[in-house]
């Protein structure tokens, strides 16, 4: 193994250790910073209290399908950004693909993903109906 390969291997190991530290570090930090006894556990019902307010109602309620359509739209546009960022960085570099062809490919990709908005609009996702307790 040459010295350059050893240096590259050390870089990879340090990078992986840094990734693991960023992934596990917050859990360890929260474990040491969390309060040990809260008003929730001191002579109370051991019921989960969020934001200092006692919960109202049951946690097992049905959610509307609109929430899931919002999630799908978010995923579609997250994929869009994950694709467009590297493409935008490479767009100006000279290569075997012509500029017009690369632009058309990006335009087709964004056009297909923009159909998500058209589909959601036709399905009425953007018309948020406020639900009252009597509707449940």
Interval 59-97: pLDDT, tens = 677 777 777 777 877 887 788 888 888 777 777 666 666
Helix, strand, or coil (residue 103): helix
The most confident of the ranges 7-16, 84-93, 127-136 is: 7-16
**Model pLDDT, residue 49:** 58
Percent with pLDDT over 70 in the chain: 69
**Model pLDDT, residue 18:** 96
**Model pLDDT, residue 100:** 75
Enter the pTM of the model.
Answer: 0.40
Chain centroid offset of residue 24 CA: 18
């Amino acid at each position: 193994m040459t010295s350059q390969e050893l240096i590259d291997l050390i870089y990879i190991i340090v990078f992986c250790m840094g990734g693991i530290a960023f992934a596990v570090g917050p859990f360890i930090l929260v474990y040491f910073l969390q309060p040990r006894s809260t008003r929730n556990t001191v002579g109370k019902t051991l019921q989960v209290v969020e934001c200092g307010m006692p919960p109202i109602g049951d946690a097992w309620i049905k959610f509307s399908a609109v929430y899931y359509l919002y999630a799908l739209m978010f995923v579609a546009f997250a994929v869009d950004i994950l694709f467009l960022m590297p493409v935008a960085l490479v767009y100006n570099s000279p290569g075997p693909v012509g500029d017009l062809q690369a632009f058309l490919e990006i335009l087709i990709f964004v056009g297909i993903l923009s159909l998500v908005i058209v589909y959601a609009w036709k399905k009425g996702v953007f018309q948020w109906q406020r639900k009252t307790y009597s509707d449940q």
